Structure 1
């Protein structure tokens, strides 16, 4: 804007100079006077105007150069602005694409969070079911242990009873041997007393029969107690194996739950960082 104003001023100066030059030329031709001083003044004014015209022409030439330089600068600046606009448009396009990718990634992560939340709920529900089953198995194991302890107590009692019976049998055997000795003594002393001998034989047979019955009864009790103890021990072993399996399964489910929570935590952290 300043350069245009300078050029306009120079043009006005040039026009005024030319007009004044023509005016003085006409005046000089119309009124050629014998006054030498007037002629000198007119000539001086004409030379001054010519000098001003030369200065104006030089300023106009400089203004033309400045205008050309301004046009060149304008072209360069326009190209720079175009390059800047193109770069900004490319960056905006890249940012829009990145925003779209971020939106898609956010949607995907949100879907994963919902999926993981559902898996956690299912795992927690299954964990509760497994825990309940484990409590039931634990109660059954407690009952089985109590039954096993009772069986062991019964077995110990049966063993004690067996020892008592064996002691009784030993006592009976000793008594039998004593009777046999008495019988032999009686036979040696009273070989003629058949009645005493028969009574002794009858008494001996009765004692033997009683001892045999007691022995069979105790043997049967021992077999029954041992069979029941073995059965309870087998049940206890099976229950222990089932409990170990349930605990292993529960441990696996807890590990899966922990892994799912860890994946959820990592996904949440990635979303937060984005």
Structure 2
């Protein structure tokens, strides 16, 4: 039987937009081009000032732990620090209907995620217990690459396919976009749509019942929540993080 995670997806269309911004060097010395303008306009608000971790904190803590640092215009995670200095970071604010744009750069074999609609409460010990994830992955060497719904840009463990998961090579920057509006979730990776589904519909329920989240009490139950960047134990960096509330 064909995997319902794939046949339930909508038809995906590639949308090619001209990259904006000037070429620059990434922190590892490689050339890269910013595709998300940092300026705030048309309702867009920056969630990262490029210099500090203001506006963020480690999940269930008051401040950002030492593993996350702001450097060279990036929020960068260092997995080498002890567990008590690590953890997912979340926005101080909560959001319900919005468009979110950011860029990510993953290490070789690396895994991370952009988790949204996170309900921060002591009864939920991790962001992914309530939040929905857009996967960040090295599709070539990442351990999670063997499941199509775990590839880069997918709606993690729900919707994904090799046809639309097209991350750039390790060391280059990828543009992620998430639109969440009245329960409808649409994802794009490098301007290619990777998922589109509405929470509560028969399509959503079928996907959920075929996923690891089937019996999770709090998963995707909170329309308004925080945005998280995941500590999955690998080096990862994020930049040009901005949001536009709808």
TM-score of the superposition, structure 1-length normalised?
Answer: 0.13
Query: Max radius of gyration: which structure?
Result: 1
Greater share of residues in helix? 1
Between structures 1 and 2, the one with greater strand share? 2
